[in-house]
Amino acid sequence: MADLQVRKLCRTFSNQNESLTILDQLDLDLNRGENLAIVGPSGSGKSTLLQILGVLDKPTSGSVELEGKNPFELGENQQAKFRNEHIGFIFQDHHLLPQWNVLENTLLPSLAFSRPTPTLQQRAKSLLDRVGLSHRLNHLPSQLSGGERERVAVARALLLNPTLVLADEPTGNLDQENAERIGELLLEVPKEQNAILVVVTHSNDLAKKLSRCCELRRGKLVDVTGQIATGPLRS
């Protein structure tokens, strides 16, 4: 069984009049150390899938198991704990807390259940060093560029050594140089930690760097690895 195993995943959004099936019997297998790019037109359900993998939304039916555990069978508190311990989520708009400095924002995942230990403080500093921000520990998000803020978000997502790192269009708002830098960090650091990495992206350049690429098409993932070099992504 794969470290991340998704089976017959469905997500339907309903209102009084209609029901919209966004994910339709989707299957996915990924092991630690592997990475996957997900591409597809806007509205195809990429964020919906990532939110479910990140346990921020729940499936209508089907199963998700991470290292043999299905987070959707857990109670609310246990689920929050699971998310915190196993999942690192990098949002496009970074979601940093404006009143907290770089170091504090990076330590955020450790604050959910306890005060950060000296070991975690050290780890936060070393991750911030890794993303090139060791000289900005006391700066507020407003004092950073967009690329720097995104790098803090990467460090924060990796703090608790997650099994699964998820990034939703992490380079969407960045210039090319910063996008490349974030892309490299995203590839390198999870790999060093033997995590699973899933990146949703509109960027051909980023998608091509990942070892597998799937397109979300009619609610399912279709392997398009090797096909993106030939032309622009449809979006």
Going by C-alpha positions, the residue among 130, 133, 156, 134 that lies closest to residue 145 is 133
Tokens in use for 99? 């009143």
Tokens in use for 233? 């992504």
How many residues touch ligand ADP under the rule CB under 6 A: the total is 10
For residue 232, count other CB atoms closer than 10 A to its CB: 8
Nearer to ligand ADP, 48 or 101 (CB): 48
How many residues touch Mg ion under the rule CB under 5 A: the total is 1
Q: Per-residue contact track with Mg ion, 29 to 58, x per CB under 5 A?
A: ------------------x-----------
Residue 220, C-beta contacts closer than 8 angstroms, at least 6 positions apart = 23, 24, 25, 26, 27
Q: Which does 45 bind (CB under 5 to 8 A by kind): Mg ion, ligand ADP, none?
A: ligand ADP
Going by C-alpha positions, the residue among 61, 80, 87, 76 that lies closest to residue 3 is 87
| Residue 203 contacts ligand ADP per CB under 6 A | no
Residue 38, C-beta contacts closer than 8 angstroms, at least 6 positions apart = 46, 49, 50, 198, 199, 200, 201, 213, 214, 215, 216, 221
52 φ, ψ to 5°?
A: -70, -45
> Least distance in Å: CB of 145 to ligand ADP?
25
Near ligand ADP by CB under 6 A: residue from 35, 47, 101, 171: 47
Q: Which does 114 bind (CB under 5 to 8 A by kind): ligand ADP, Mg ion, none?
A: none
Residue with tokens 């009143």: 99
Instruction: Choose the binding region for ligand ADP from 42-50, 119-127, 171-179, 225-233 (rule: CB under 6 A).
Output: 42-50
* The pairing of beta strand 61-66 with beta strand 19-30: unpaired
| Residue 113 contacts ligand ADP per CB under 6 A | no
Q: Which does 146 bind (CB under 5 to 8 A by kind): ligand ADP, Mg ion, none?
A: none
Q: Which does 44 bind (CB under 5 to 8 A by kind): Mg ion, ligand ADP, none?
A: ligand ADP
Nearer to Mg ion, 48 or 105 (CB): 48
> Residue numbers of the site for Mg ion (CB under 5 A)?
47
